[in-house]
């Protein structure tokens, strides 16, 4: 089906599958193309080109994105498609647990979100939309959402800004309820005492996914990430944490997308994912922490600062990382690459039970440092 102003080659599909995502480009590294972000299912996609595995999506007049063909399905709707659709009223309100910003639209359309700092803001772009919004209602039941407003930044792109009350992002998710696009915003926990928070620990790999292998002792990543995860669980219990969830407790297969979906159901306050690094260069060693979304960087910095007290080489604090468990915006998350299995000295450390305990203690201290930094009375120290 085509409409006036579109190529006869234009076709329409819908998003489908587990966690469909848009990509900025067809470029790839070992973790895939740089992701624009996850989208909901059943979103209308205007397809204008394709490669073997990817479709090119026309988001707006001047913007395109890419989606894996396996995350699409035929559009069964008989409604005539339009180049642009109208927005309607917004309403922002809270319930006993979350704040919500609901944006009424004529169709389920593609979107992207990102975080901005100083002030903390959730940014949302909706593609193929022209504004017909003259009501942005904000109710007093809101607790984390401070302000909601929008701009028509292009003729067919609406940008929505959701300003937050606290500097730290605690998570949000975006999806459709009918044809209303809803931003569900997590509030800052009532207490920042580590003992009162729900903490998720992810032991990387497992089962059929062995991960990296050591060069001298032939240590398997999947076995040692589980040992580190259990050491962290033990350490957190010792300091009084009651709510700890583990993505795995045994050597079992657990696909990363299924981990994300399961974690979204568990709704932790934050996630720590533990891995062991590897390089083709044997001399490279050290510890690193990773994040994708800028609002979650402070947690990764605090943990790295503490890990460096173990006299590990600093490999870095790395952002925009394309690892699956860094991608969700639902909760703060930190990937810790503890050390390099491909380096003999690091591998010797990894093998020692005392090192597992030391790493767990430093991660716990890093979490505590981060939580203390969120107190209004905290005297901020310089992060490297």
Structural contact between residues 369 and 307, judged by C-beta atoms closer than 8 angstroms? no
Other residues' Cβ atoms within 10 Å of the Cβ of residue 381? 8
- The residues of the chain that CATH labels 3.40.630.40 are 194-373
The CATH code for residues 85-186 is: 2.60.40.3500
Statement: residue 147 has pLDDT above 50: yes
**What would the pLDDT profile of 72-88 be if each residue is shown by its tens digit?**
999 988 889 999 999 99
Q: What are the structure tokens assigned to 225, written together?
A: 């990430």
Is residue 64 within 8 A of residue 57, CB to CB? The reply is: yes
Q: Which residue has the tokens 């609406």?
A: 158
Average pLDDT over residues 115-120: 97
Backbone torsion region of residue 32, taken as left when φ is above 0, otherwise alpha when ψ lies between -120 and 50, otherwise beta: left
pTM comes to 0.94
| CATH homologous superfamily of 11-74 | SH3 Domains (2.30.30.40)
CATH number of 194-373: 3.40.630.40
Helix (H, G, I), strand (E, B) or coil at 267: coil
Which residues, other chains included, contact 152 with Cβ-Cβ below 8 Å and sequence gap of 6+? Answer: 130, 131, 158, 159
Tokens of 305: 């600062």
Contacts of 72 (CB under 8 A, 6+ apart): 13, 14, 15, 16, 20, 45, 47, 55
184-212 tens-digit pLDDT:
999 999 999 999 999 999 999 999 999 99
Distance from first CA to last CA of the chain, Å, rounded? Answer: 54
CA separation for the pair 44, 105 (Å, rounded):
12
For 9-64, write each residue's pLDDT tens digit: 689 999 999 999 999 999 877 778 889 999 999 999 999 999 999 999 999 999 99
Confidence of residue 4 (pLDDT cuts 50, 70, 90): very low
Residues of the chain with CATH 2.30.30.40: 11-74
* Separation between Cα atoms, residue 346 and residue 278, nearest integer Å: 10
How far is the C-alpha of 85 from the C-alpha of 213, rounded, in Å? 52
CA torsion sign, 141 to 266 to 39 to 370?
Answer: positive
275 forms bridges with which residues in the sheet? 337
Answer yes or no: are the C-beta atoms of 40 and 174 closer than 8 Å: yes
Question: Which whole number is the average pLDDT over 296-316?
Answer: 98
The helix or strand, by DSSP H or E, that contains position 116, with its residue range, turns out to be strand 111-116
Residue 5 has pLDDT above 80, yes or no: no
DSSP readout, 23-55? ES-S--BTTBSPEEEE--SS-EEEEEEE-SSEE
Mean pLDDT within 269-294: 98
All CATH 2.60.40.3500 domain ranges of the chain, comma separated, are 85-186
Sorted by sequence, the CB contacts under 8 Å of residue 116 that are 6+ apart come out as: 123, 294
Q: Which two tokens stand for residue 283?
A: 């001399």
- pLDDT-based confidence at 142, cuts 50/70/90? very high
| 139, 164, 171, 275 from 95: Cα distances, Å | 11, 16, 16, 37
* Overall average pLDDT of the 373-381 stretch: 71
Query: Taking all residues of the chain, what is their mean pLDDT, rounded to a whole number?
Result: 95
């Amino acid at each position: 089906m085509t409409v006036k102003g579109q190529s006869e080659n234009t076709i329409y599909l819908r998003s489908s599958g587990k966690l469909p995502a848009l990509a900025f480009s067809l470029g790839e590294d070992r973790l895939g193309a740089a992701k624009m972000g996850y989208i909901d299912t059943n979103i209308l996609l205007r397809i204008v080109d394709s490669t073997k595995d990817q479709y090119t999506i026309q988001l707006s007049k001047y913007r395109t994105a890419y989606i894996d063909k396996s995350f699409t399905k035929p559009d069964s709707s008989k409604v005539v498609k339009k180049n642009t659709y109208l927005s309607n009223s917004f309403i922002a309100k809270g319930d006993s647990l979350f704040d919500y910003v609901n944006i009424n639209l004529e169709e389920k359309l593609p979107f992207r979100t990102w975080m901005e700092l100083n002030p903390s803001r959730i940014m949302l772009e909706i593609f193929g939309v022209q504004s017909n919004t003259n009501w942005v209602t904000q109710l007093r039941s809101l607790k984390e959402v401070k302000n909601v407003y929008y701009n028509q930044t292009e003729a067919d792109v609406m940008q929505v800004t959701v300003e937050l009350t606290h500097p730290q992002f605690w998570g949000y998710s975006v999806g459709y309820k009918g044809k209303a696009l809803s931003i569900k915003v997590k509030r800052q926990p009532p207490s920042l005492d580590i003992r009162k928070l729900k903490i998720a620990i992810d032991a990387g790999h497992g089962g059929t996914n062995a991960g990296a292998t050591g060069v001298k002792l032939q240590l398997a990543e999947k076995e040692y990430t589980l040992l580190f995860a259990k050491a962290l669980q033990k350490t957190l219990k010792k300091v009084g944490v009651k709510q700890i969830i583990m993505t795995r407790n045994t050597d079992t297969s657990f696909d990363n997308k299924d981990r994300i979906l399961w974690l979204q159901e568990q709704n932790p306050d934050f996630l720590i994912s533990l891995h062991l690094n590897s390089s083709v260069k044997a001399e490279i060693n050290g510890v690193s922490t990773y994040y994708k979304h800028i609002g979650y960087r402070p947690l990764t910095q605090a943990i790295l600062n503490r890990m460096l007290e173990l006299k590990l080489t600093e490999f870095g604090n790395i952002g925009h990382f394309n690892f699956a468990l860094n991608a969700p915006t639902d909760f703060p998350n930190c990937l810790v690459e503890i050390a390099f299995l491909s380096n003999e000295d690091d591998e010797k450390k990894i093998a020692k039970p005392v090192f597992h305990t030391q790493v767990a203690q430093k991660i716990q201290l890093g979490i505590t440092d981060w939580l203390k930094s969120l107190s209004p009375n905290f005297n901020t120290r310089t992060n490297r």
